[in-house]
Structure 1
Amino acid sequence: MSPMVLENEVEVGESLPPSTEHAVSVSLPTWRANVGYEEGEEWVISKMKTGYPRFFIHKQIQAFATAIVAKYGDGGEAAMLFPTNATASRCRDFFVRLAPDAQVRIVDLVPAAEKARSDEMLIISPKISAVLFPQDRFSIAKQFWQHSGDGVSSRRAEYCHHLFREGYLIEPSSLNQSPRVCKGPRRYQKQTSIDLGTSNGEVQDPGEFVEQRFGRNLDLSLTNYAKLAIRRRIAGSLTADVGLKEALSMEKNTAMTRNVAGFSEDDVYLYPTGMSAIFNTHRKLLEAIGQRKAIVFGFPYIDTLKITEKFGPGSLFYGYGSEEELDNLERRLEGGERYVALFTEFPSNPLLRSPNLERIRILADKYDFCVVVDETVGNFINVNVLPYADVVVSSLTKVFSGDSNVMGGGLVLNPKAKSYRLLKQRWAEDYVDNHWAEDSIVLERNSRDFVSRIERIGANAEAICDVLSAHPRVKQVNYPKTSPTRVNYDKCRNPNAGYGGLLSATFYTRQDAVAFFDNLDTVKGPSLGTNFTLSSPYVILAHYGELDWCAQWGVEADLIRFSVGLEETTKLVDAFKRALDAMSQS
């Protein structure tokens, strides 16, 4: 049978959305393409214009790193780029721990002239710290990049690379040698009255920029206001779909938010990525509470487990997230074992199981460990997990943004938790906002309609769940509404809220799974929470080197994950039905 003509098929390696410079997903449109990517096959790798940013280093970042090595490096060196010396130092320390013989150093780059330290430039913060290391040890640096999520964003790299090329991003020791400040990339320049009043045109108005893409104007002097609006949305005190000016003029909601009295945006923190929020939470908890093992409860997104295994004393892993495993944990705690924190997802990815947060909270209070809940999949419009957590983390890259063109992470502290005073003090001492100014502006704009998007996405996902569940050749559908752990989800579900936009399915044969996937008329690639439906053979992409380990925890290699979007429901249902029909013809 000839393959079906797919309206949404995008060429392998193209960004998703197509022709989007800072896209966070990439097209892998067939089963064979996904396997080829994991196997490093040239026909896939050579076409990759981009990829998920923590796994594929954006070409803007690669180009900037190459330029830094060319100027400051020795033969055989490579570089990883970070926003601050502190984040770069953590990469260096990780590198030296794994390769004590390696020569690793940091090159800090800062804006050149006094003008660069104006109030506006402090908002933009165009600085870079490059970790230089032996090129043949690249895989070690890449591990830290992937696990920590603390690397520079592609927009930061693009802007700072221009400054670097023009000689205006330099080592601190050279600060007094360059009197001028560059205007930044030409597409950001805007002629101002200040510029018109100068003879050489070298004075910068660093707060005004124009982004030609999508016809959007970016006034980066508004960065702090955009960050505030984002934090208010995460706090739940700003849910209206309004512009930034109107959003900030609204009266601050001082009532109970997320059903936790005293909570506000003052307990919300922004990070470059969701994984950065998790990584830094683990790091800060070890520093504040002590060097104890962590607990990872339920089958997690892979890097959460890797963080607890590679940074600190290690972890105790409960891959099912079951009541029986909580029984085992309780026996361990009664026997005197102590842990720094329990990390869990609500619900989990990709099995969409919901842990018993109520029981976990009781154990945490009795035996003095923190509870860290990743609410990315559930999202705070649908579920309220804060009353059960000390810390709530989320990837803002996903449904909060929706547009698949910007990275971000959020972190929330619970003011009613026993640990709050200790953690609040730790964050006050150590927190640095490394979310790049441009990214904040884009994220704020993307998130204005997130409430209505989440409602529509949830309705579409329930319709797809019904279609898949009714087909006799579908082995299992994983969705919070139909999960055996639904009772745990419903305890946290907000009134009149839904069950989210993520679901997954398995089939009785690989042949059926491949036929279904290849004939499914959606775009296909990594990530989730996009405004368009995005499908992926998730386990192959996330766990290709450990498929047997996944199977041990009931996560099948041929599982397909669906992040449902905003399409018209009947059209989306028809696309899934046609893919199901294609199985019988394969």
Structure 2
Amino acid sequence: MTSLAVEKKFGYSLPPYSPHTITAHLPGWKNAVSFRDGDKSMLPRLKSMYPRFTPWGHCRELAMKLCKTLSLPEGHFVFPFLEPGVFCFAQAHAFSEHRKEHRLSPEELDYRVVDVGEGSNAVRLYLLVFPLTKADGVGLIWGNAGVGISTRLAEALLPAVDDGKVVPVPWDALDDSKQHVAIWSAPKPTGVPEGEAHAKLRERIVGLWKRAAVTPEKADMVRADDVQLFPTGMAAIYRMHLALMQWRSGAVVPLGSIFHNTWHLYEEAPQGYKHFGRVDGAGKGLDEFEAYLEAEAEEGRKITYAFVEFPSNPILVSPDLKRLRELADKFDFLLVVDDTIGSFCNVDLSAVADIVMTSTTKSFSGYADVMGGSLVFNPASRLYASFKPVLEKFFLNEYFIGDAEKLLSNSADYLERSTILNRNALTLATWLDELKAKEPEYGITKVLYPTTSDTLDNYKLWMRKPTEEFTPGYGCLFSIEFGKKEDARIFYDNLEVFIGPHLGAHQTLAICFNELVLGKDPEVAKYHGAYGATLEQIRIAVGLEGEDELKKVFEVALEKVKEAKTSYSEK
């Protein structure tokens, strides 16, 4: 068990620091807003970073060496990937009107292929080349797709990069405007080799899928070859989406609150998307979704898949998966469920989901020093025999063995840690929900957690059975909503935990999540606020500290809110 009594330095990761840590302490509401709005003055102070945001550490060092190896003009940079299809995604992204003033012209985007290493150990890298002055127009190519190389892979490649060999690319396969790369004629990708850790990770996930299942007759059907591993959770979503568009191209329907990078990925999907936000007990989102499906069916159209988080980040709504399963069967689409927040140990979705996606970066790893993602294909799905071969055909291993080994080691105590995470989050959420009425001067208007939601019964329906080894719970994440943004800011600025993105780690983390990802555009904030994701919320991801220690720290911050209200009223 950890303690809150550890040093928290601006720009540093949760302890212990390593070149592969994925958090950064960024205290202060004002700093969060400045960072969101493009203030880069804090960057030199950052010693750690979530590596899916941008090439960081060894990744940045490798990219800079590649620039030198290729003799690129000064002021240019590269993003290294393991598969050529990302070039097409890069074009669609960089040339899109969504980039607004950061939009690139075709001549500002270039493509190279380099082999690093010798013989069978060589790794083929596909490089996206662009001027650094256009970084704001290409940054989310790395972030939204999540398929940039990892810091461990970059570290392994660094000694050989100076001797990297440029691989010819058939540029005559490009059209004159250079807007379309013929990826199928590009040099074939090598990916990275798998090792014993990959097999053991798949076995561990299968074991967790089967243990204490709600529907064991369905859960027991899954096998190791039903599990695919990816370098990040977003990579799992991105690769799945591309493959499913080959299976059956059509619109995607995200439901409720979903992670912001997932939202942006779907927002720009060429096949189109349709979002239904209010899927809690008070909303009519699923009724509207059904009406939409009826209208599409009348026009002879089917959606490809619906995507839903269970429960959702950051408002912890648990949608009615039973009804969604019925709609999926009636209207012939796939139901993809992201169980990252609920987590393998707590919920069994084998009776409802066709595919389960998990960011294994989070509580499955638990120590904030490795990234990963997984897909589990459900053999109980009536469409399993149809979609699985397509996802297998388009799969390339991009998960570096060093990351797989670290994730395997970290996840060995997954159930033990999850017991503490479940307990801490439930204790705090229950206590804060009680304070909402007892201490109105604290300014709390809602505590968002599965147990405080009107969708609790939806969650309970899929909770795994308790065993002597483990009792399922409701996950590590909750949010606190204040009546006024100023109260949220005071609480946030006085909360002595690590501040920054991530969840499921060994230390508690807080972040003004919605302000950070939605607050820049008032219309965007209004849209998402309408289904419950408001700017007055603070997202809390509990760690392994003691319950009483956490309560004391939260109480100090709440008292600061109370003091500010008292001071204001006296004036």
Compute the TM-score of the two structures, normalised by the length of structure 2: 0.84
Distance 2:228 2:217 in 1: 16
In structure 1, which of residues 150, 154, 157 is the aligned counterpart of residue 154 of structure 2? 157
- 1:316 and 2:271 correspond: no
Q: Is the 8 A contact 1:30 1:517 kept in 2?
A: yes
CA contact (8 A) 1:274 1:408 kept: yes
* Larger RCO, structure (CA 8 Å, separation 6 or more): 2
Per the alignment, residue 474 of structure 1 pairs with 444
What pairs up with 1:18-57 in 2 under 5 angstroms?
Answer: 19-41=17-39, 43-57=41-55
CA contact under 8 A between 1:342 and 1:372: conserved in structure 2?
yes
In 2, Cα distance between equivalents of 1:537 and 1:36: 13
Partners in 2 of 1:396 and 1:29 — Cα distance? 26
Contact preservation (8 Å) 1:236, 1:257 = no
Contact 2:361 2:368 in 1 (8 A): yes
Change (3 A) 1:460 1:97: closer
| Residues 42/224 of structure 1: CA separation in 2 closer, same or farther (3 Å cut) | closer
> Does structure 1 residue 457 correspond to structure 2 residue 421?
yes
Q: What is the CA-CA distance between 1:43 and the residue it aligns to?
A: 4.9
Task: Check conservation: 1:257, 1:264, Cα contact below 8 A.
Answer: no
2:530 to 533, 552, 560: 552
Distance in 1 separating the partners of 2:240 and 2:318: 21
Sequence identity percentage:
30
Unaligned 5+ runs, structure 2: 98-103, 170-191, 467-471, 565-571
Question: Residue 236 of structure 2 aligns to a residue in which SS?
Answer: helix
Greater displacement, 68-77 / 420-429: 68-77
Residues 258 and 539 from structure 1, CA distance in 2 versus in 1: closer, same or farther, beyond 3 angstroms? farther
Cα separation, partners in 2 of 1:237 and 1:387, compared to 1, 3 Å: same
Work out the CA distance in 2 between the residues paired with 1:317 and 1:391. 19
Counterparts of 1:227 and 1:569 in 2: how far apart (Å)?
35
Equivalent-residue separation in structure 1 for 2:450 and 2:346 (angstroms): 11
Match of 1:408 in 2: 372
Q: Out of 517-526 and 90-99, give the one that drifted further.
A: 90-99
Name the residue aligned to 1:521: 496
CA–CA separation in structure 1 for the residues paired with 2:361 and 2:262:
16
Tell whether the 8 Å contact from 1:96 to 1:102 is kept in structure 2 after alignment.
no
The amino acid across from 1:490 in the alignment is K
Q: In structure 1, what is the Cα distance between the partners aligned to 2:141 and 2:41?
A: 28
Report the CA distance between 1:319 and its aligned residue.
1.3
Q: Could you tell me how far apart the structure 2 residues matched to 1:152 and 1:54 are?
A: 9
Map 1:90-489 → 2, pairs under 5 A: 90-92=89-91, 94-95=93-94, 99=104, 101-113=106-118, 116-117=119-120, 121=121, 126-165=123-162, 167=163, 169-172=164-167, 224-236=195-207, 259-290=218-249, 292-322=250-280, 324-335=284-295, 336=297, 337-471=301-435, 472=440, 473-489=443-459
Checking the alignment, whether the CA contact within 8 Å between 2:14 and 2:507 is kept in structure 1 is no
Letter in 2 for 1:304: T
Q: Is the 8 A contact 1:7 1:521 kept in 2?
A: no
Please give the alpha-carbon distance, in whole angstroms, between the structure 1 residues aligned to 2:55 and 2:518. 19
1:151 deviation in Å? Answer: 0.7
CA shift for structure 1 position 94: 4.5
Consecutive unaligned residues of structure 1, counting only runs of 5 or more, are: 1-5, 175-219, 241-252
Helix, strand or coil at the partner of 2:79:
strand
Distance in structure 1 (CA, Å) of the matches to 2:116 and 2:38 = 39
1:544–1:54 distance in 2 versus 1, CA, 3 Å: farther
Taking the aligned partners of 2:32 and 2:105, their CA distance within structure 1 comes to 35
How many Å separate the matches in 2 of 1:75 and 1:576?
49
Amino acid at match of 1:367: F
State whether residues 467 and 577 of structure 1, in contact with CA within 8 Å, keep that contact through their aligned partners in structure 2.
no
Distance 2:134 2:106 in 1: 11
Tell me the matched-pair count.
Answer: 511
Shifted more, 436-445 versus 135-144: the winner is: 135-144
Instruction: Give the 3 Å change call, closer, same or farther, for CA 67–504 of structure 1 in structure 2.
Output: same
Distance 2:96 2:217 in 1: 41
CA change 1:85–1:282 in 2 (3 A) is closer
Provide the C-alpha distance between the structure 2 equivalents of 1:270 and 1:258, rounded to a whole number of angstroms. Answer: 25
More displaced stretch, 360-369 vs 333-342: 333-342
Call closer, same or farther: CA 1:385–1:239 in 2, change over 3 Å.
Answer: closer
What CA RMSD, in Å, does the superposition of the two structures yield over aligned residues? 2.6
- Whether the 8 Å contact between 2:367 and 2:505 is mirrored in structure 1 is yes
Q: Any idea what the Cα deviations from partners look like across 1:122-171, whole Å, max 9, x if unmatched?
A: xxx64422111344433332222111101111111122122113x2x322
Quote the residue 1:189 is aligned against: none
Structure 1 residues 366-375 or 313-322, which shifts more? 313-322
> What CA deviation, in whole Å up to 9, does each residue of 1:500-558 have, x standing for no partner?
11000011223322222222221111111111111111112222323333323322112
Cα gap change, 1:112 to 1:55, in 2 (>3 Å): closer
In the superposition, relative to structure 1, how do residues 540 and 162 fare at CA in structure 2: closer, same or farther (>3 Å)? farther
d(CA) in 1 for partners of 2:210, 2:198: 15
2:480 equivalent to 1:505: yes
The aligned counterpart of 1:561 is 539
Q: In 2 relative to 1, CA 560–238 (structure 1 residues): closer, same or farther, beyond 3 Å?
A: closer
* TM-score, normalised by the number of residues in structure 1: 0.82
Residue-by-residue CA offset, 1:3-40 (whole Å, 9 max, x unaligned): xxx84462221223353211111101222222232234
Q: Which moved more, 1:19-28 or 1:67-76?
A: 67-76
> Aligned with 2:112: secondary structure?
strand
- 1:155-209 deviation line (CA, Å, top 9, x unaligned): 11122122113x2x322469xxxxxxxxxxxxxxxxxxxxxxxxxxxxxxxxxxx
8 Å Cα contact 1:282/1:308 also seen in 2: no
1:584 aligns with 2:562: yes
The reply on whether 1:67 has 2:65 as its aligned counterpart is: yes
